[in-house]
Amino acid sequence: MKTRQHRHGFSLIEVTFSILIVSILLSTSLVTLSNVVGMGHEERLQSQALRLANYLLGEVSALPFEDPEGSSGIGTDTSEVSDRFSWDDCDDCHNITLSPITTRNGTDIAPDWTAKFTVTWMTPNSLAVTATATDLKAIRLLLTHSSGQTVTLFVLRSRHGVLQEPATSAQITSSAEFLMKADSKPEQVFGARLNNQQGI
């Protein structure tokens, strides 16, 4: 007579629970991976924006503070056109949009980005925007990616460097500030600030 052997194996309930646990772990892993990939894309965009801003704001900031022809307004003069070769002072870029972003000779360097400049007078003591001509200008750059992400950056351009301020002034102030804010994370700010002050 044959004896019955007990077969050892997994029951249907055990298999179902195992599949459920594995699927939960897999879906959690996929969500985490998706977040990591998304953050990597955003960081790449921020890095691109920073390089573009350094290039464009450096180009504009290197121009003279005032128009060599004596114009005191902000923006291009009637004798100037809106191309970058005719810019002869740092506020000629006011209300200019570059799309796509190119070098001065027209080579595309960022076809997925659009740049818009805004220049305003600033009061040196309070850094408030003013309509009156002062010795300080804020050059703002709004960069917009084709994905919809926008980044705003700005520099302050002074008429006088630290060693160029007239001796009649009570204080020498030279200030340069560079900020990058990502719209998706308003609390995230990248940048550097340089302030030099000397009393007379």
pLDDT in tens, 153-172: 989 898 876 545 454 444 44
Domain boundaries, the chain: 21-199
Strand partners, 118: 140
pTM beyond 0.95: the answer is no
Looking from the CA of 3 toward its CB, the CA atoms found within 13 Å total 2
Nearest partner of 165 among 138, 199, 189, 193, judged by Cα: 199
Length of the chain: 200
End-to-end CA distance of the chain: 115
Distance CA 174, CA 124 (A): 9
CA 140 → CA 13, 46, 177, distances in Å?
64, 17, 11
Higher per-residue pLDDT: 146 or 38: 146
**For residues 175-190, average pLDDT:** 47
User: Stretch 167-194: mean pLDDT, rounded?
Assistant: 45
Q: Nearest to residue 125, comparing CAs of 172, 90, 165?
A: 172
Mean pLDDT within 99-111: 87
